[in-house]
Structure 1
Amino acid sequence: MTPHEQAQLRILKSLEDAPGISQRALAERLGISLGKTNYLLKALLEKGFIKADNFRRSNNKLGYLYLLTPQGIEQKLRLTRAYLARKEAEYEALRAEIAALHSELSTSEDSIATTP
């Protein structure tokens, strides 16, 4: 999964949780610049993964409500599956490394205990 796909997944998750979030708040939540957030949102709009509906806030400024399209929901699921597969592989590799370290420690401790 590329960094771009990771950012895309994080945006799709955030928009699903808070469709009325501002770009500035989204950027802060994701820890990326406002410009990059705008760029990624435009790309998601162009691909048809989200749609932006205008709505009026109480202070009369125009805002957007970002909604995931059916294609956006499918993309989020694809990205989530890829992310989960990668994390499971990392987990298994880490488990194997931990088992090897335990074995190494056990062998070292046994050799120290038998040395006169």
Structure 2
Amino acid sequence: MEPIAHSPSKARLSERESIDCELMLLLEQRPDLSQRELSRRLGISLGRVNYCLQALAQKGWVKLENFRQSPHKQRYVYALTPDGIARKSAMTARFLKRKLAEFERLKAQIALLEREQGKQDEGAQ
């Protein structure tokens, strides 16, 4: 069985796009989450969350606003812009397509390994 070759730059792009997609999904559901909570939920560093949020804001996909009802005036609400909502939808569709293709490859690999294991088990008897 030959390993599937992946381009390192494509893998990085996929990881970054995956994080952006997950981040925007979380923000759409809970725009009031702190960066620390986003970091915890995404399993990435606080610095990386900050970097991603700033990048999304610079692209015009996320808007940072002060959370006026908060007693801590440093709290922000991260609102998806209309362009951000459109991008999130497109990213979600690509992410889903990529994950489904990955799932199909894994199913094929599992089936092959099961067949190989069955042959080895028959030969051992």
Report the TM-score range of the alignment, normalised by the length of the smaller protein: 0.7 to 0.9
**Is the 1:57–1:63 Cα contact (8 Å) retained in structure 2?**
no
Q: Normalising to structure 2: TM-score of the pair?
A: 0.76
How far the C-alpha of 1:62 sits from its partner, in A, is 3.5
Alpha-carbon RMSD? 2.0
Percent identity between matched residues is: 43
Which structure would you say has the larger Rg? 1
- Alignment partner, residue 10 of structure 1: 22
- Match of residue 56 from structure 2: 44
Task: Find the aligned partners of 1:92 and 1:60 in 2 and give their Cα distance.
Answer: 48
Q: 2:78 aligns with which of 49, 55, 66?
A: 66
Determine whether 1:103 maps to 2:119: no
- What is the one-letter code of the residue matched to 1:29? R
Residue aligning to 1:23: 35
CA distance in 2, matches of 1:32, 1:109: 43
User: Relative to 1, partners in 2 of residues 1:10 and 1:98: Cα closer, same or farther, differing over 3 Å?
Assistant: same
Q: Return the alpha-carbon distance in structure 2 between the equivalents of residues 54 and 44 of structure 1.
A: 17
Secondary structure (helix, strand or coil) at the match of 1:62 reads: coil
Q: Secondary structure at the match of 2:33?
A: coil
Q: Per-residue displacement from partner, 1:77-115 (whole Å, max 9, x unpaired)?
A: 1211221111111111122122223333444455566xx
Q: Which runs of 5+ in 2 are unaligned?
A: 1-12
What count of residue pairs does the alignment treat as equivalent? 113
Q: For residue 55 of structure 2, what is the amino acid of its counterpart? A: A
